[in-house]
Amino acid sequence: MASGLVALLDDIAGLTRLAAASLDDVGAAAGKAGVKAAGVVVDDTAVTPRYVVGLSPQRELPIIGKIALGSIRNKLLFLLPAALILSALAPWAITPLLMAGGAYLCFEGAEKVIEALSGGHEEEAADAGLDPVALENQKVAGAIRTDFILSAEIMAIALSEVADSPLVTQALVLALVAVAITAGVYGVVALIVKADDVGLYLARTGSGALRAIGRGLVKGVPVLMRWLAVIGTAAMIWVGGGILLHGAEELGLAAPAHLVHDASEAAAHLVPAIGGALAWIVTALASGIIGLLIGGAIALALHRLHAARAH
Distance of alpha carbon 268 from alpha carbon 263, whole angstroms:
9
Mark the ranges of the chain whose per-residue pLDDT is less than 70: 1-44, 46, 53-54, 120-130, 311
The pLDDT value recorded for residue 42 is 63
Q: 154: closest CA among 234, 59, 282, 45?
A: 45
Distance of alpha carbon 139 from alpha carbon 227, whole angstroms:
18
**Quick one: how far is CA 229 from the chain centroid?**
14
The pLDDT value recorded for residue 13 is 45
Distance of alpha carbon 288 from alpha carbon 112, whole angstroms:
14
Q: How far apart are the first and last CA of the chain?
A: 90
The domain segmentation of the chain, as residue ranges, is 41-310
The pLDDT value recorded for residue 18 is 39
Q: 146: closest CA among 185, 196, 190, 96?
A: 185
The pLDDT value recorded for residue 208 is 78
Question: Structure pTM?
Answer: 0.74
Helix, strand, coil percentages for the chain (3-state, nearest 5): 90, 0, 10
Q: Quick one: which H or E segment has residue 138?
A: helix 132-161
Q: 303: closest CA among 142, 102, 100, 115?
A: 115
